């Protein structure tokens, strides 16, 4: 035991000494990361596909007009942790490809682009040239013309045009509160070089962009390797000195489909950062690799069982409320999550200051849905015409370890009130296709990001939206969402969101479930990093570009 303690103390001293020596950034080396979707390789390389995961994979080399300002993050003494997937407070946004922007009138926004941003040379695809306003116009038009575009997404835009080489003008039909998210830093706002018009953008070998890294290798189910972009424009100021980015020569996303193997890869330093560690593994990893650094966060996504409200029996609110009351959610927090979860944190995230209303401030009818009451559940089912219960199928993806464990637990609770849930496990591509084509079963078990205060309500509960697995359709609610988007005053929007969240939770289109806490872990040679995840919708490139490897520390620690 004494030898073990001495070893830990010795390693701690090495880490401390190396940290003292690492104030000046170091260039070179490879940063290897298993990210927050550790089991999934890239599903698409073409932004016109409108796939939710594009920003994580193509966002290393494709940039956006805006991004989160990491200089206002905790790493530099700020308050922002940058751990929610698609939420940037208005005071923490900076220009990325945009240098500055201004409203010329209530419906006209002019964006001045950075000068000197380069599209790198790529054989058969692009010659080295300066990025211009024409690229922004091309990107918007290419996204807008996609047959896979989310309905209504760009309906507020009348026209996008290049005023000159460095100025893009967005002309609105109407004000939209989410304007900066929609075409600036959201899920579907990547800026492509206009050379994409002449290539097969689905082929990763054709990929090119203005970002800090360029993809050089893709092994499906294994890894995505990116090389440093030598003509990248951005810099990081440390100690009053501006350093050219990125610091590392290569960046690798490692896809690891087995959770135990992920932990082994981290423990043996085959990866430098593991962005998703469930609470069940934290204590053991802290024992087996005590040098690791940690960050804790509330998940940026919520788990739920969506019930198709366009089919019986889920067209009856009594049935939906019954299923919610039949599941002991407090017990799930205590026993399944070991207390590492919040009973109520979806569809609004607690970090959305001003927009989130805690459960104890909600109406009694909402609080009832989070109170275990199987007797009332059976009573409601009988009133709805199902005294003996019923059977339904629920699809779940095998790519989510937690859901493969959690759904049988939910099924067990439902069986106690006579409802039999038949679980249908599916590989992720087929599972996602079932929902987006609206061919999914009456039950659909989903992990869905909160997105942001307005987008979360729109994408999940507005009629006809792509990510609306409950098929919820309420013209009155649709109208409220439309009014929400037209409201310029943020304080008023916050009030509206609080009221609309209470309304939709009360209607119970989902079987609402607790939201867990998650962890990130990384080795101490990973410098200039405090667990930040995203500075736009699933975009991590600016975070990774600012990380450097302390090579001396890594060597002294035996790696």
pLDDT at position 4? 32
Q: Rounded CA gap, 255 and 60, in Å?
A: 16
- Cβ neighbours of residue 15 closer than 8 Å, sequence gap 6 or more: 291, 524, 553, 557
Q: What is the per-residue pLDDT across 276-335, written as a single tens digit (0 to 9) for each?
A: 999 999 999 999 999 999 999 999 999 999 999 999 999 999 999 999 999 999 999 999
Residue 72: which of 91, 95, 86 has the closest Cα?
Answer: 91
Count CB-CB contacts under 10 A for residue 533.
Answer: 21
DSSP SS3 for 288: helix
3-state helix, strand, coil in the chain (%, to 5): 35, 25, 40
Residues 332, 333, 337, 342: what is their CA dihedral angle, to the nearest 10 degrees?
140
Q: pLDDT tens digit string along 426-485? A: 999 999 999 999 999 999 999 999 999 999 999 999 999 999 999 999 999 999 999 999
- Taking alpha carbons only, the member of 34, 7, 30 closest to residue 259 is 34
Do the Cβ atoms of 31 and 526 come closer than 8 Å? Answer: yes
CA angle 296, 525, 247 (to 5 degrees): 105
Q: Which CATH architecture has domain 26-292+523-556?
A: 3-Layer(aba) Sandwich (3.40)
Residue 241: alpha-carbon gap to chain centroid: 32
Contacts of 224 (CB under 8 A, 6+ apart): 41, 42, 57, 215, 217, 218, 252, 253, 255
State the DSSP H helix or E strand holding residue 425, giving kind and residue range, or none if neither: strand 420-426
| Angstrom distance (rounded) from CA 557 to CA 559 | 6
For residues 381 and 399, give the distance between their C-alpha atoms in angstroms, rounded to a whole number. Answer: 33
DSSP labels, 381-416: HHHTT-TT--EEEEEEETT-HHHHHHHHHHHHHHHT
* Spans of all domains in the chain: 26-292+523-556, 301-516
pLDDT, tens digit only, all 559 positions of the chain: 333 333 333 334 434 433 433 579 999 999 999 999 999 999 999 999 999 999 999 999 999 999 999 999 999 999 999 999 999 988 999 999 999 999 999 999 999 999 999 999 999 999 999 999 999 999 999 999 999 999 889 999 999 999 999 999 999 999 999 999 999 999 999 999 999 999 999 999 999 999 999 999 999 999 999 999 999 999 999 999 999 999 999 999 999 999 999 999 999 999 999 999 999 999 999 999 999 999 999 999 999 999 999 999 999 999 999 999 999 999 999 999 999 999 999 999 999 989 999 999 999 999 999 999 999 999 999 999 999 999 999 999 999 888 999 999 999 999 999 999 999 999 999 999 999 999 999 999 999 999 999 999 999 999 999 999 999 999 999 999 999 999 999 999 999 999 999 999 999 999 999 999 999 999 999 999 999 999 999 999 999 999 999 999 999 999 9
Q: What is the pTM of this model?
A: 0.90
- Output the six-digit token pair for 477: 């609610």
pLDDT of residue 23: 75
What's 301-516's CATH class? alpha beta
What does DSSP say about strands 250-254 and 30-34: parallel, antiparallel, or unpaired?
parallel
d(CA 241, CA 264): 38
User: Beta strand pairing status for 301-307 and 515-522?
Assistant: unpaired
By CB atoms closer than 10 A (0-12, 13-18, 19+), residue 338 is middle
Burial class (CB in 10 A: 0-12, 13-18, 19+), 360: exposed
């Amino acid at each position: 035991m004494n030898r073990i303690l001495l070893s830990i103390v010795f390693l701690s001293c090495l880490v401390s000494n190396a940290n003292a020596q690492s104030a000046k950034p170091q260039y070179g080396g490879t940063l290897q990361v298993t990210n927050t979707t550790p089991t999934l390789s890239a599903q698409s390389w073409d932004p016109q596909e409108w796939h939710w995961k594009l920003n994580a994979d193509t966002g290393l080399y494709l940039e956006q007009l805006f991004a989160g300002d990491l200089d206002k993050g905790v790493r530099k003494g700020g308050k922002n942790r940058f751990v929610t997937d698609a939420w940037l407070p208005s005071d923490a946004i900076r220009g990325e490809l945009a240098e500055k922007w201004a409203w010329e009138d209530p419906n006209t926004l002019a964006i001045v682009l950075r000068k000197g941003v380069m599209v790198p040379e790529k054989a058969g695809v692009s010659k080295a040239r300066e990025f211009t306003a024409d690229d922004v116009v091309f990107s918007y038009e290419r996204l807008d013309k996609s047959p896979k575009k989310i309905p209504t997404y760009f309906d507020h835009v009348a026209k996008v045009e290049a005023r000159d080489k460095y100025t893009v003008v967005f002309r609105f039909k109407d004000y939209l509160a989410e304007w900066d998210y929609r075409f600036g830093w959201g899920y579907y706002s990547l800026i492509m070089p206009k050379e994409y018009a002449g290539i097969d953008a689905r082929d990763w070998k054709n990929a090119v962009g203005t970002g800090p890294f360029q993809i050089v290798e893709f092994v499906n189910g294994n890894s995505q390797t990116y090389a440093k972009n030598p003509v990248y424009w951005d810099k990081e100021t440390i100690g009053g000195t501006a350093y050219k980015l990125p610091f590392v020569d290569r960046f690798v996303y490692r896809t690891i489909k087995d959770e135990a193997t992920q932990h082994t890869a981290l423990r043996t330093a085959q990866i430098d950062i593991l962005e998703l560690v469930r609470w069940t593994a934290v204590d053991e990893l802290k024992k087996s690799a005590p040098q690791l650094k940690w960050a804790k966060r509330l998940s940026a996504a919520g788990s739920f069982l969506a019930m198709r409200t366009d089919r019986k029996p889920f067209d009856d609110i009594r049935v939906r409320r019954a299923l919610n009351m039949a599941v002991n959610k407090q017990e799930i927090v205590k026993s399944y999550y070991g207390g590492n979860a919040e009973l109520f944190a979806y569809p609004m995230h607690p970090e959305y200051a001003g927009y989130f209303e805690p459960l104890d401030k909600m109406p009694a009818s909402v609080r009832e849905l989070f109170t275990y009451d199987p007797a009332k559940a059976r009573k409601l089912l009988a009133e709805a015409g199902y005294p003996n219960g019923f059977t339904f199928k629920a699809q779940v993806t095998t790519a989510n370890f937690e859901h493969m464990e959690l759904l049988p637990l939910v099924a067990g609770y439902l069986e106690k009130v006579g409802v039999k849930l038949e679980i249908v496990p599916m590989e992720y591509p087929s599972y996602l296709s079932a929902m987006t084509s609206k061919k999914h079963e009456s039950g659909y078990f989903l992990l869905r990001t909160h997105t942001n205060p307005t987008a979360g309500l729109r994408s999940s509960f507005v009629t006809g939206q792509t990510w609306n697995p409950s098929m919820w359709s309420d013209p009155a609610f649709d109208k409220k969402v439309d009014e929400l988007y037209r409201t310029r005053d943020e304080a008023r929007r916050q009030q509206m969101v609080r009221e609309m969240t209470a309304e939709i939770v009360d209607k119970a289109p989902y079987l609402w479930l607790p939201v867990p806490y998650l962890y990130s872990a990384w080795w101490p040679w990973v410098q200039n990093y405090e667990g930040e995840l995203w500075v736009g919708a699933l975009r991590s490139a600016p975070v990774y570009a600012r990380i450097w490897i302390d090579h001396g520390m890594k060597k002294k620690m035996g790696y």
